[in-house]
């Protein structure tokens, strides 16, 4: 004997909701636009829109004049394109992106050391592809 049970409408709705929840939202393109008086990567006011910082999967561009100061680790971006200055501060700060492109005029650097006898800052990039154009550092 073959028995089949028709799923309840509540179970069908739950399945539909779980499928919709699993669909990732499209990545955003985020552009660095530093506000006067701050260069903090994690200040939402420094990013287009002014309400949030770049999130996982975003395509990030740092092209405006003025250095962006990265003091904590980022989520994993789809890409980072740099044609301005990015300053890594703190020993464990990590930039994560699938593709990192340092264009002409782009600079990845550190602030001055805190002391002369102990390491205090570090450049740590986790990526699949790293491209540095002529004129990038």
Q: How many helices (H) and strands (E) does the chain have?
A: 1, 8
Q: Which residues have CB under 8 Å from 105's CB, separation 6+?
A: 83, 84, 135, 136
pLDDT band at 16 (very low <50, low <70, confident <90, very high): very low
pLDDT of amino acid 64 = 80
| Over residues 71-90, mean pLDDT | 96
Residue 121: CB atoms within 10 A of its CB come to 18
DSSP 3-state percent helix, strand, coil across the chain (nearest 5): 10, 30, 55
Residue 100, pLDDT above cutoff 90: yes
Looking at per-residue pLDDT, the higher value among 16 and 74 belongs to 74
Looking at per-residue pLDDT, the higher value among 117 and 135 belongs to 135
Residue 51, pLDDT above cutoff 90: yes
Give the length of the chain. 137
What's the predicted TM-score (pTM) here? 0.77
């Amino acid at each position: 004997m073959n028995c089949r049970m028709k799923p309840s409408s509540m179970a069908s709705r739950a399945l539909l909701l779980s499928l919709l929840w699993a669909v990732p939202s499209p990545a955003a393109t985020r552009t660095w636009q530093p506000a006067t008086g701050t260069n903090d990567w994690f200040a939402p006011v420094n990013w287009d829109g002014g309400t949030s910082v770049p999130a996982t999967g975003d395509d990030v561009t740092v092209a405006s004049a003025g250095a962006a100061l990265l003091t904590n680790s980022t989520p994993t971006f789809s890409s980072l394109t740099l044609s301005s200055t990015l300053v890594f501060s703190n020993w464990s700060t990590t930039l994560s992106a699938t593709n990192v492109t340092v264009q002409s005029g782009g600079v990845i650097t550190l602030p001055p050391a805190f002391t002369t006898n102990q390491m205090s800052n570090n450049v740590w990039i986790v990526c699949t592809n790293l491209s540095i154009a002529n004129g990038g550092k």
